[in-house]
Amino acid sequence: MTFFKNPAELNEYRNKLQADYAPHSPYIAVCGGPGCSLMGSPDVFQAFQEEIAKNGLTRKVRVKLTGCHGFCQKGPLALIYPHKTLYVSVKTKDVREILEKTIERDEIIERLLYQDPVTKEKIVQESEVPFYKNQTQLLLGNNRLIDPKSIDDYIRIGGYSALCKALFEMEPEQIIQEIKKADLRGRGGGGFPAGVKWETCREAHGNIKYVIINADEGDPGAFMDRALLEGNPHSVLEGLIIAAYAISYGVSPAQGFIYVRHEYPLAVKYFTNTVAQARECGLLGKNILGKEGFNFDVQINQGGGAFVCGESSALMASIEGKPGEPRAKYVHTVHKGIYNQPSNLNNVETYANVPLIINNGADWYRSMGTEGSKGTKIFSLVGKINNTGLVEVPMGITLRKIVYDIGGGIRGNKKFKAVQTGGPSGGVIPESMLDLPVDYDELSKVGSMMGSGGMIVMDSDTCMVDVARYFLDFLKGESCGKCTPCREGIKQILVVLNRIIEGKAKEGDLERLVELGKAVHDASLCALGGTAANPLLTTIKYFEDEYKAHIYDKKCPAGVCRALVTYSILEENCTGCMACLKQCPQNAITGEKKKPHKIDTEKCIKCGVCYETCKFDAVVRK
């Protein structure tokens, strides 16, 4: 590895890498994201390597196991350059054929192409697949082009050019102004303007400035930050170094931290590697790239698995070695953070945006998005949707576009019911608001939030009372227990919710839930408690009828809450096939062949097996 003494050396090195690259020769990007990996992409990658070596193609074909491409639903993915042919659900047995046909003879393998479920048309190019067509992958896009373990790959595609520009063509204040002008808002959830935070931190009194990456991504089902750390870790580090320069240069020394959850071992490994490479290249350490007096290094801290440690003051306490509990932030962490020194905390995705803004300018960045939210946002689109995966969209896109155009609509042609945004402490948004533009302010206005970017789609088989219970149960387990409203309030809300779900609701329970929810929101110490009631309050706001059905009619309209559901057999539909009878674990179904069966409600445990088994719609759930 080369040690760069100045930007010219780095530029020269990049030019050399680019000259050696030969962009028109075949390159296979096998997605190594979490979804594809589980479906066997590392084996596919290995098979490619072996076949290439066996056939003496090493000089002709490059293959890389890259970071996440996003389309988890169809993994393992293999993207083949130069034509950007996308093959989906690739197995190891397909590898030889791909090399023989697509690489050697430039033929398309129909079978491996993505087929549009509606038009039945086979799509060759990745950019034409509806899932990708409506996205703007500024941050995720580069994942395909690089091996996350290689600094050379990152430098080749222009990496660290923003750092050079920031250090040698811009003053720290100028960088802050540029970030402020770009209106980059914190991607971790709060949406606080990053430039303002940096400026406050620069001006705050202290002996040292701490600059921290928050990679404690704890929302169930969310993996945006993971995809960046495991796909393009150098871009995050570059953003951090620029931030450190803007915040500290000329006023005080600086120290960097990354707080990454230990459940992301690959992210930890890659980022450790990234930091080591950057040190060797002179991108971390003393007088970075020859910039006199700019010394900066990063320490890697692993979280111990507490959701609340994603909250800034809890995260900082944890870095100090104290229990990861939040404290009151009436004096902000930019003034008194780690060891009471000014500390700037931003999320992984926020930092990844920084090099883009420095390179392309604030005006370019502002051209995307809405009045109050600029740029793009990565969402993890999961739930009852056809195309699950990571999507990066410009701010202001409607929920409808995400759910239907990118997500491909609801699985099994069921009806859309709601979408939960912002993770467990976000809110639920009903169908009537599908045309809502996705930006920080619009989402807060309807009682939800951007959060870190989780997006869980629910269909008509989802019970909203059960959804509220699920999220509150998660939060009950993750509450640190420090303050009364969060610790005791969530517990008591769950007592009432469980009562409702079990059919033992009392008059006034609904009003009581609202009262408890509001108090937990108002009186909790930190944002975890402050937002914990969101799933409860928004489900009540938008699905009050469903709550009332549970409370007053003792019915669960979605047929989810067991205690409120009864199964029976419609005589006219029952053919007497005995399928349900054989499946019933309780022997609760009686009847003879070719005669209508009956369910003994006393014996029935409401497992729903009969309902799933019956092919004649004879079993009814009410």
**Interaction site with another protein (CB under 8 A):** 306, 323, 327-328, 330-331, 476-485, 487-489, 491-492, 495, 512, 515-516, 518-519, 522-525
Q: Which is nearer to another protein, 199 or 546 (CB)?
A: 199
Minimum distance, C-beta of residue 476 to another protein, in the bound complex (Å): 6
Strand-pair partners of 310: none
Angle, in degrees to the nearest 10, between helices 544-551 and 509-523: 130
Structural tokens at position 188: 């971790």
Minimum distance, C-beta of residue 330 to another protein, in the bound complex (Å): 5
At residue 23, φ and ψ (nearest 5 deg) are -65, -15
Q: Which is nearer to another protein, 378 or 505 (CB)?
A: 505
Q: Which is nearer to another protein, 212 or 480 (CB)?
A: 480
Q: Do 310 and 212 form a contact (C-beta atoms < 8 A)? A: no
Q: Which is nearer to another protein, 47 or 204 (CB)?
A: 204
Strand-pair partners of 568: 620
Interatomic CA distance for residues 271 and 261, integer angstroms: 12
Minimum distance, C-beta of residue 496 to another protein, in the bound complex (Å): 9
Q: CA torsion 281→285→287→293, rounded to 10°? A: 160
Q: Which is nearer to another protein, 515 or 553 (CB)?
A: 515
Q: Which is nearer to another protein, 239 or 489 (CB)?
A: 489
HSE (CB half, 13 Å, CA atoms) of 446?
Answer: 27
Strand-pair partners of 344: 211
Minimum distance, C-beta of residue 341 to another protein, in the bound complex (Å): 18
Minimum distance, C-beta of residue 372 to another protein, in the bound complex (Å): 17
Minimum distance, C-beta of residue 524 to another protein, in the bound complex (Å): 8
Q: Which is nearer to another protein, 515 or 612 (CB)?
A: 515
Strands 78-81 and 85-87 turn out to be: antiparallel
Minimum distance, C-beta of residue 322 to another protein, in the bound complex (Å): 10
Minimum distance, C-beta of residue 402 to another protein, in the bound complex (Å): 32
Q: Do 1 and 151 form a contact (C-beta atoms < 8 A)? A: yes
Any residues with CB less than 8 A from the CB of 200 and at least 6 apart, and which?
A: 332, 334, 335
Q: Which is nearer to another protein, 518 or 593 (CB)?
A: 518
Element (H, E) at 366: helix 362-366
The overall longest dimension of the chain from CA atoms, in Å, is 90
Structural tokens at position 530: 């402050």
Per-residue exposure over 555-589, b if at least 16 CB sit within 10 Å of its own CB, e if not: bbbbbbbeebbebebeeeebeebebbbeebeeebb
Minimum distance, C-beta of residue 538 to another protein, in the bound complex (Å): 19
Q: Which is nearer to another protein, 427 or 489 (CB)?
A: 489
Q: Do 395 and 388 form a contact (C-beta atoms < 8 A)? A: no
Minimum distance, C-beta of residue 517 to another protein, in the bound complex (Å): 10
Q: Which is nearer to another protein, 445 or 491 (CB)?
A: 491
Minimum distance, C-beta of residue 319 to another protein, in the bound complex (Å): 18
Interatomic CA distance for residues 435 and 422, integer angstroms: 17
Closest CA to 392 of 214, 184, 223: 223
Residue with tokens 């921290």: 212
Any residues with CB less than 8 A from the CB of 441 and at least 6 apart, and which?
A: 372, 373
For residue 597, give Cα distances in angstroms to 588, 590, 610, 615: 10, 6, 11, 14
Q: Which is nearer to another protein, 77 or 449 (CB)?
A: 449
Q: Which is nearer to another protein, 327 or 377 (CB)?
A: 327
Minimum distance, C-beta of residue 593 to another protein, in the bound complex (Å): 51
Interatomic CA distance for residues 513 and 469, integer angstroms: 12
Interatomic CA distance for residues 533 and 472, integer angstroms: 8
